Amino acid sequence: MHRPPTVSVDVAGVALVLRIGTVSRFGPVAALFLATAAQESAAQTAYEICVNNAKAVHDTSHAAECKRLAEQTEQDRADCLGTLKLPPAYCDLSYPARDGSPNCTLPAENATVIDAALERTRYRCARENQAAQ
């Protein structure tokens, strides 16, 4: 049995295989349409992966900053009590326990930096998506 030859086109990491028979049956415009649609689909997939990765980095950074601030506050309180030998009431008021969970509320100056990095990355993803289409 003779199989028609195929043409493989790699579009942004997505292999698109067009049978030459399809091109001759439907014409080069249809083949071009299919290739363009595959390229747009690949670009959209790459964009979604880019944005999802950016969100994962954001969430990891947020969680790490929550943990870092909670540990720093705990250390500062321990230093207040131990090294400085200040009264516990003073140290408790000066260094209240912070939420170290991944979804803590960060101080505005910390959250702004992390959120801005996410927005810059989303913007880069959008530019890359436009360039790929």
- Chunked into runs of 10 residues, the chain (133 residues) has average pLDDT values of 47 45 63 73 92 98 98 98 96 97 97 98 96 83
Is the residue at 46 inside a domain? yes
Is the residue at 29 inside a domain? yes
Helix axes 108-132, 28-82, angle to 10 degrees: 170
Whole-model pTM: value is 0.71
- Give the pLDDT confidence score for residue 40 in this predicted structure: 81
DSSP state of 8: E
Provide the domain count of the chain.
1
Task: Supply the range of the domain harboring residue 108.
Answer: 6-132
- Give the pLDDT confidence score for residue 9 in this predicted structure: 46
- Give the pLDDT confidence score for residue 43 in this predicted structure: 87
CB of 11 closer than 8 Å to CB of 42: yes
SS3 10: strand
- Give the pLDDT confidence score for residue 24 in this predicted structure: 58
DSSP state of 19: E
- Give the pLDDT confidence score for residue 27 in this predicted structure: 72
